[in-house]
């Protein structure tokens, strides 16, 4: 069951032979059959005129400020809740450690 599965010697390839036959006789056609000389590249078109700078209206500024405040409050709430969960877990592990220590140090007092 745990012995390696090696092909029998009569079917195994010999070191001098290969299972992949080399490719011979392949001739690639030319990419272009028209006999012309390359011309100069086409001129690059001029860049389009730059767009005007983004202009904020008072309403869009109010929406952006409200959205940023909401994101900060949500992320802050999530981070504080994770910190609180970690603190509660650490406190409960510390209480368990103190109780176990007191039980193991004074077995005769019970």
* Phi, psi (deg, nearest 5) at residue 77: -65, -45
For residue range 70-90, what is the model confidence (pLDDT) as tens digits?
A: 999 999 999 999 999 999 999
Find how far residue 105's CA is from the centre of its chain: 50
pLDDT of residue 33: 66
CA atoms within 13 A on the CB side of 9: 0
At 71, which helix (H) or strand (E)?
A: helix 58-105
Measured from the Cβ of residue 78, the count of other Cβ atoms closer than 10 Å reads 10
For residue range 12-52, what is the model confidence (pLDDT) as tens digits?
A: 666 666 666 666 766 666 666 676 665 666 677 776 777 77
């Amino acid at each position: 069951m745990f012995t390696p599965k090696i092909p029998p010697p009569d079917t195994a390839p010999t070191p001098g032979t290969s299972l992949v036959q080399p490719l011979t006789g392949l001739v690639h056609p030319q990419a272009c059959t028209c006999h012309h000389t390359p011309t100069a590249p086409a001129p690059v078109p001029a860049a389009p005129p730059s767009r005007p700078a983004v202009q904020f209206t008072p309403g869009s500024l109010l929406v952006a400020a409200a959205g940023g405040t909401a994101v900060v409050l949500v992320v802050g709430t999530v981070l504080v809740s994770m910190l609180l969960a970690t603190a509660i877990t650490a406190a409960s592990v510390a209480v368990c450690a103190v109780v176990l220590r007191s039980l193991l140090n004074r077995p005769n007092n019970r």
